[in-house]
Amino acid sequence: MDLEVTIITYREIFQYEAEKKKGRSSEDYKKLSASVALDKEDMANAGIKAGQNVSMSNDVGQIVVTARRSEEDEPHPGIAFMVTSPWSNQLVREDVCNISIHGYKRVSAKASPSTETATDISDLFKRITA
């Protein structure tokens, strides 16, 4: 089942530290960057389990990331959180940079369980340069 979500992107200090100390191709950076936090009820309704890979797609692109249960105490159905990264940027319209930062804060996408492995950062960079 596809889960319709609005992705809110955010900055994460631990992601920055992993990138600075170990680089963008490190497993630590990928673990912090290639994930999506979902509402627990949304996860249950869509048959998504924490630690499972999910396909995130919209009319801009498609990625596979790891699902995790949101740490938010309050329910937030339909809202997902992703760290600003090469993964989340694959779902952001190209013209957003010319509009405003708010385009990174309301990205519509569909999430669905996936058997694929999480998208590798080298594949993301190939997409950008293609």
Tokens 């919209």 appear where?
Answer: 58
Q: Give the mean pLDDT of 10-24.
A: 77
Q: Give the mean pLDDT of 22-29.
A: 78
H or E segment and range at residue 80: strand 79-83
Measured distance CA(51)–CA(64) in Å, rounded: 12
Q: Give the mean pLDDT of 14-29.
A: 77
Helix (H, G, I), strand (E, B) or coil at 67: strand
**pLDDT band at 30, cuts 50/70/90?**
confident
By C-alpha distance, which of 8, 7, 28, 1 is closest to 16?
A: 28
Stated pTM of the model: 0.86
Q: Give the mean pLDDT of 10-31.
A: 78
β-bridge partners, 5: 109
Token pair, residue 1, equals: 């089942």
Residues 119, 63: contact at Cβ < 8 Å?
yes
Confidence check: pLDDT of 102 > 70:
no
Domain boundaries, the chain: 3-129
66-95 pLDDT, tens per residue? 999 999 889 999 999 999 888 998 998 876
By C-alpha distance, which of 78, 77, 84, 50 is closest to 66?
A: 50
Measured distance CA(17)–CA(15) in Å, rounded: 5
CATH fold, domain 3-129, is Barwin-like endoglucanases (2.40.40)
